[in-house]
Structure 1
Amino acid sequence: MTISEAGGASAQDAPPLGRRERKRQQVRDQLYGAAVELFVAQGYEATTMEQIAESADVARATVFNHFSQKVGFLEEWGVRRRARVAAILGQEHAEDLPVGDRLRRYLGEMADLNVASRAETTVLMDASARFGRLLQDPSLETELTKIVEEGRQRGEIRSQVDPDQAGALLASCYFSSVLRWIREEPPPFDLPGRLDGALDIILLGILAHP
């Protein structure tokens, strides 16, 4: 199992699935795992839907029932990463942290996932940027904007700060850092440290100071 497969809502929070839904999710997980392994082993472009079906031991039509396009696996990868981080922070009740610490925990967990699965991150992040909607997908930006907005409501963020703009800045910083980090081998810098330093700079501009 890849690290990104471990994502999703916790078993305590998610409602129980019926037998049919469990079976469908099992097949989806099987397809996803097979696709990610093939992408890492031979590259995204070189992998076909037929190969994914063969690796998962299902009919080709089954793949398209779950993922109508190959790019769907890239989107699923991002969804599972964010879900994994949300589950971790939810268990820690990170919503009770000061906004700066909460943002640091969120970006730190995202960075740690990338570091722990560098080969996977290198292939799938690059493919997401080249063939997917990595920079157009607002999902990460939305998550970060929500954290900033909640901090502003508690008086921790300056009232003049636009949460949408701050969320977009944070998301852009994350993606640009990761895309630079995967370009070279060995990594050109420590990713968690780079994101932590960038957050320090951003917080100087958005935090409310007594």
Structure 2
Amino acid sequence: MEVPPPPGRRARKRQQTRDTLIATAAALFDLHGYDAVTMEQIAAHADVAKRTLYNHFPTKDAVLADWLEAQLARDLADLQPRIAARRGFRARIDTLLDASAAWCERHPARLRAYLQHRMMNAGAAAGPGSGGPMDAWRLLIARGQDTGELDPALCVERLATAFHHLYFGAMLRWLDGPEPSLRDEFRAITDLFLDGARAPGEVRKPAH
């Protein structure tokens, strides 16, 4: 397999600028709160022209999205030993969702802005290997199929996408009114994902 060449000087410089902008914005969000920070402040504190900032990020929400998704990938990597130590699909996904709920409950303003950004850019779905929640759903679902907890005849990608929509829906409902808790919302979507919406006693008919 051919190893791709390292990025050139121009690409490295662009990535360094992008990283500086994200780090500066994150520090300002922590200091002043997300809603109070402006794009002008981010540019000024990063010591770049406003045009440079807008060349990298069209909106403040886009800066937040890049920062949050990188943070999420790191958090998911840190969670992997805890998740792997749990037995069964339900216990593993509950571990991940509990950690997600804890972060969301600490940062509701950032969560709302991120979800709005994602809904405006719905076509930019994360592919395999991105390190985001879709990768986590794919992995846990595949493990559940290997152990016989989930139907191995079903497409992993389709199941992961369905759970991803349930996950985002739970967060949106919670933001509209934080009762029940986000953990309870996540428990409810996992129940729905595992048990479906059939009435008790109904027998599932095979699809044709």
Q: Tell me the TM-score normalized by structure 1.
A: 0.66
Contact 1:34–1:52 at 8 Å: present in 2 too?
A: no
Residue 199 (structure 1) shift: 0.5
Mapped to 1, the partners of 2:181 and 2:36 lie a distance apart of 26
Structure showing greater Rg: 2
**Which runs of structure 1 show a deviation greater than 3 angstroms over 4 or more consecutive aligned residues?**
23-26, 34-39, 61-65
Residue 188 of structure 2 corresponds to residue 197 of structure 1 = yes
Higher mean alpha-carbon deviation, 171-180 vs 117-126, is at 117-126
Name structure 2 gaps, 5 residues minimum: 1-11, 127-131, 197-208
Mapped to 2, the partners of 1:26 and 1:40 lie a distance apart of 18
Residue 101 (structure 1) shift: 1.3
In the TM superposition, what are the counterparts of 1:41-190 in structure 2 within 5 Å?
41-42=35-36, 47-48=38-39, 50-54=40-44, 56-60=45-49, 63=53, 67-70=56-59, 72-92=62-82, 94-97=83-86, 98-129=88-119, 131=120, 133-134=121-122, 136-138=124-126, 139-184=132-177, 187-190=178-181
Question: Percent identity among equivalent residues?
Answer: 18
Contact 1:111–1:191 at 8 Å: present in 2 too?
A: yes
Matching residue's letter, 2:147: R
Contact 2:34–2:110 at 8 Å: present in 1 too?
A: yes
Distance 1:150 1:188, change over 3 A: same
1:53-104 C-alpha deviation (Å, 9 max, x unpaired): 12x2411265357x34335314314413422431331242x23432221111
Mapped to 2, the partners of 1:96 and 1:147 lie a distance apart of 13
Higher mean alpha-carbon deviation, 29-38 vs 155-164, is at 29-38
Matching residue's letter, 2:160: G
| Paired position in structure 2 for 1:12 | none
Q: Tell me the TM-score normalized by structure 2.
A: 0.67
| Paired position in structure 2 for 1:10 | none
Matching residue's letter, 2:146: Q
Contact 2:137–2:164 at 8 Å: present in 1 too?
A: yes
Q: How many residues align?
A: 174
| Paired position in structure 1 for 2:4 | none
Matching residue's letter, 2:149: E
Name structure 1 gaps, 5 residues minimum: 1-19, 206-210
| Paired position in structure 2 for 1:40 | 34
Q: Give the secondary-structure state (helix, strand or coil) at the position aligned to 2:176.
A: coil
